[in-house]
Amino acid sequence: MAVLLDENSRVIVQGITGREGSFHTKLMLEYGTKIVAGVTPGKGGQEVYGVPVYDTVSEAVEAHPEANTSIIFVPARFAADAAYEAIDAGLKLVVVITEHIPVHESMKFINYAKQKGTTIIGPNCPGIISPGKAKVGIMPGHVFKPGSIGIVSRSGTLTYEIGYAITKEGMGQSTVIGIGGDPVIGTSFTEAMKLYEEDPETEALVLVGEIGGDMEERAAQMIKRGEFTKPVVAFIAGRTAPPGKRMGHAGAIIMAGTGTYEGKVQALQEAGVKVAKTPFEIPDLLKEVLKK
CA 286 to chain centre: 21
Q: Any idea which residues carry the catalytic annotation?
A: 249
DSSP letters of the chain? --SS--TT--EEEETTTSHHHHHHHHHHHHHT--EEEEE-TT-TT-EETTEEEESSHHHHHHH-TT--EEEE---HHHHHHHHHHHHHTT-SEEEE------HHHHHHHHHHHHHHTPEEE-SS--EEEETTTEEEESS-GGG--EEEEEEEES-HHHHHHHHHHHHHTT--EEEEEE--SSSS-SS-HHHHHHHHHH-TT--EEEEEEESSSSHHHHHHHHHHTTS--S-EEEEEE-TTPPTT---SSTT---BTTBS-HHHHHHHHHHTT-EEESSGGGHHHHHHHHHH-
Q: Is the dihedral of CA 249, 254, 259, 263 positive or negative?
A: positive
